[in-house]
Structure 1
Amino acid sequence: MLVVLAELFVLILVLALPSSMGFDWNHLALTSFFVQWVVLVSAGCLCWIRPLILGAPLGYALAACYSIVLLVTLVFSLAAEWVIYPFDWNQFWPQLDTWHVSKNLLVALIITSLLLRYFYVQQQLRKQEQAELRSRLQALQARIHPHFLFNSMNSIASLIQISPEKAEQAVEDLAALLRACLDEVAAKVTLADELEICKQYLRIEKHRLGERLQVKWNLEGVPDSLPIPPLTLQPLLENAVYHGIQPLAEGGTISIEGHYDNQQLTISIHNPVDAAYIAKPKSGNQMAIQNIEARLQALYGKQASLSVQQQEKVFVTQLSYPCSTSDQADI
Structure 2
Amino acid sequence: MYDIALRIKPFDWLYILLIGVVFATLLSSLGYVLLGREWLQGAYFGAMLGFSITLFSLVFITYMNHTILPKISKIFWLPLAVFFSFLSGFLGTLLSTAVAELLQVDLIPLFHTHHMHIAIAVGLLTYIVGALLYRFVKMRNEKEEVDHHYVQSRLRSLETQLNPHFLFNALNSIAELIHQDQDKAEAAILKVSTFLRNTMDEKALIPLSDELRNVRDYVELENIRFSGMIQLHIEEPLPRIEVPKFSIQLLVENAIKHGFIAKRTLNISLSYDQAENRLTVQNDGKPLKSTTFGTGLTNLAQRLKLLCKGTIEITNKEKPAFTLYLGDCDENTDR
Contact 2:88 2:123 in 1 (8 A): no
Partner of 1:284: 295
Mark the runs of 5 or more structure 1 residues left unpaired by the alignment.
87-91, 327-331
Partner of 1:318: 324
Aligned CA distance change for structure 1 residues 124 and 147 (closer, same or farther; 3 Å)? closer
Aligned CA distance change for structure 1 residues 220 and 253 (closer, same or farther; 3 Å)? same
Of stretches 5-14 and 190-199 in structure 1, the one that deviates more from structure 2 is 5-14
Partner of 1:270: 282
Mapping of residues 75-154 of structure 1, within 5 Å:
75-79=91-95, 96=114, 100-144=118-162, 148-154=166-172
How far did residue 211 of structure 1 move? 4.4
Distance in 1 (CA, whole Å) between partners of 2:208 and 2:69 is 32
Distance in 2 (CA, whole Å) between partners of 1:245 and 1:161 is 25
Per-residue Cα deviation, 1:246-277 (whole angstroms, up to 9, x for no partner): 4x44463211113557xx85322112464463
Q: Secondary structure at the match of 1:324?
A: coil
Per-residue Cα deviation, 1:85-112 (whole angstroms, up to 9, x for no partner): 99xxxxx9xx535653343123211221
Contact 2:280 2:324 in 1 (8 A): yes
Q: Structure 1 vs Structure 2: percent identity of aligned residues?
A: 20
Mark the runs of 5 or more structure 2 residues left unpaired by the alignment.
1-13, 103-109
- Structure 1 position 67 matched with structure 2 position 83: yes
How far did residue 161 of structure 1 move? 6.2
Aligned CA distance change for structure 1 residues 24 and 38 (closer, same or farther; 3 Å)? same
Per-residue Cα deviation, 1:30-72 (whole angstroms, up to 9, x for no partner): 0110110110222133334443247345554554444322212
- Structure 1 position 253 matched with structure 2 position 264: no
> What code does the residue aligned with 1:208 have?
R
- Structure 1 position 6 matched with structure 2 position 20: yes
> What code does the residue aligned with 1:186 have?
K
Aligned CA distance change for structure 1 residues 227 and 36 (closer, same or farther; 3 Å)? same
Contact 1:136 1:291 in 2 (8 A): no
Aligned CA distance change for structure 1 residues 14 and 309 (closer, same or farther; 3 Å)? farther
> What code does the residue aligned with 1:295 have?
L
> What code does the residue aligned with 1:309 have?
T
Of stretches 108-117 and 284-293 in structure 1, the one that deviates more from structure 2 is 284-293
Match of 2:307 among 296, 314, 317: 296
Normalised TM-score (structure 1)? 0.75
Partner of 2:220: 203
How far did residue 177 of structure 1 move? 3.8
Partner of 1:24: 39
Q: Secondary structure at the match of 2:162?
A: coil
